[in-house]
């Protein structure tokens, strides 16, 4: 089985790669960061491409080099916190282009390969931020809400290819560790019904499940892995 993980060289993506390799997958990684990409290649020995998923021509070229694909995991994403009154529109455009257009690009060009597989699926990464109030993260939250909508629509449009999404809550990664230093960790943990913040393995295990035959009758679903944070959010269903 062959899987492509975007943003797979660091954070949640890195743990997803590790988990899928343990499940027996062969992995290809797309990532924009050459330093972490080289480390991932050294650790896993998998095929890697230094690529910005928001650039359609680059995605098309990279995917054309793949021979087969069973699972696409659209994990690549960025966030740029800025209050509305002072935000830089160009910066916020990069959030949308990476998170939404990047997912569109990868899914569009992976589709012919996925259609050749007998058990293919797409797993998109959204965020609990799409369902909770996150001042300063308006564009990020909007981009992740868009991913949820695309997930549901594609589950119908692309069937029998299964399409689902996983929504992390607060998770400690290299990029977020500074948010959990000192008293912040205790405060944030207390805001979670399960009284802890997540780690990358919490997310990776759910992705592994959705990539496996155990989830063969699940499609069009958004699964939040957030310790219960979104359970009390307005509009959660």
Residues with active-site annotation: 140
CB of 22 closer than 8 Å to CB of 47: no
CB environment 36-71: b (16+ within 10 A), e (fewer): bbeebeeebebbbbebbbbbeebbeebbeeeeebbb
Instruction: Provide CB contacts within 8 A for 60, sequence distance 6+.
Output: 105, 109
User: What is the Cα–Cα distance from 226 to 206, expressed in whole angstroms?
Assistant: 12
Distances (CA, A) of 23 to 37, 121, 133, 180, 205: 21, 15, 36, 31, 10
Q: Is 84 buried (19+), middle (13-18) or exposed (0-12) by CB count in 10 A?
A: exposed
- Which parts of 158-237 fold into alpha helices (H)? 183-190, 200-211
């Amino acid at each position: 089985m062959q899987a492509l993980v975007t943003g797979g060289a660091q954070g949640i993506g890195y743990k997803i790669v590790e988990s899928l390799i343990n499940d027996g997958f062969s992995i290809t990684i797309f990532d924009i960061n050459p330093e972490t990409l080289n480390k991932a290649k050294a650790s896993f020995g998998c095929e890697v491409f230094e690529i910005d998923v928001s650039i359609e021509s680059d995605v098309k070229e990279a995917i054309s080099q793949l021979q087969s694909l069973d699972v696409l995991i659209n994990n690549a994403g960025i966030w740029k916190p800025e209050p509305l009154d002072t935000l830089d529109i160009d910066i916020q455009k990069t959030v949308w282009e990476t998170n939404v257009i990047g997912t569109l690009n990868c899914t569009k060009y992976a589709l012919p390969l996925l259609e050749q597989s007998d058990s293919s699926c797409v797993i998109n990464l959204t965020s609990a931020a799409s369902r909770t109030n996150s001042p300063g993260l308006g564009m990020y939250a909007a981009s992740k809400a868009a991913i949820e909508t695309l997930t549901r629509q594609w589950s119908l449009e692309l069937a029998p290819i299964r399409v689902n999404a996983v929504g992390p809550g607060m998770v400690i990664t290299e990029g977020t560790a500074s948010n959990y230093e000192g008293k912040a960790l205790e405060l944030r943990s207390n805001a979670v019904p399960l009284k802890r913040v997540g780690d990358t393995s919490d997310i990776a295990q759910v992705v592994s499940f959705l990539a496996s035959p155990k989830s063969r009758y699940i499609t069009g679903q958004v699964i939040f892995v957030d310790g219960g944070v979104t359970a009390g959010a307005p509009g959660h269903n």
